[in-house]
Amino acid sequence: MDHSPTQRKSRVSASAVLALLCVAVLVDRAHAATTVNVGGSSGYNYRTWASTTRVKPWDSLFFKYDPRLHNVLLVSKADFDACRTTAPWAKYSSGKDYIKFSKSGTYYLICGVARHCAAGMKVAVTVKW
Ligand SMILES: [Cu+2]
């Protein structure tokens, strides 16, 4: 009696399964770091965009705008609610900004130009797995 052919066969398929798992993890890693176009196809309806778009940690939010007309400020919730632009935690003004959040949580972004925030150019982004 010789069982080795069967044994060898099962070992081969086991390593094939392992290889498949590795590929799946790699694909998932790559997928985790997606770029999210803020506003999407809904234009400036950020509320709709924010409630329908999933943002995971390490995803990049992409803000594309005319830097002569707008900017992006990361602010506290209080400043977001009041559209206060004087003490942002971070300011982006290149017009092609990738903003990445490594932790779960809600982040508040507003436009700091003129009264754009009060006019609705503001978005609260919830980042979660
Ligand atoms: Cu603006």
What is the per-residue pLDDT across 79-120, written as a single tens digit (0 to 9) for each?
Answer: 999 999 999 999 999 988 888 888 999 999 999 999 889 988
Q: Which residues surround ligand 1, an ion (CB under 5 A)?
A: 70, 111, 113, 116, 121
- Ligand 1 centroid from CA 118, angstroms: 10
Q: Where are the domains of the chain?
A: 1-32, 33-127
* Ligand 1 midpoint to CA 59 (Å): 23
**Which of 19-28, 81-90, 118-127 tops mean pLDDT?**
81-90
What is the arrangement of strands in the sheet containing 35-37, beginning at the earlier edge strand?
Answer: 35-37, 60-64, 96-100
What's the pLDDT score for residue 23? 44
DSSP-assigned beta bridge partners for residue 106: 126
pLDDT at 12: 52
Q: How confident is the model at residue 51 (pLDDT cuts 50, 70, 90)?
A: confident
Comparing 101 with 42, which gets the higher pLDDT? 101
In angstroms, what is the span from residue 21 Cα to ligand 1's centroid? 45
Kindly tell me if the per-residue pLDDT of 40 is higher than 60. Answer: no
33-127: in CATH 2.60.40.420: yes
Q: What is the mean pLDDT of the chain?
A: 76
Within 33-121, residue ranges assigned H as helices are 46-52, 77-82
Distance 90 CA to ligand 1 centre (A): 16
CA 119 to ligand 1 centroid distance, Å: 9
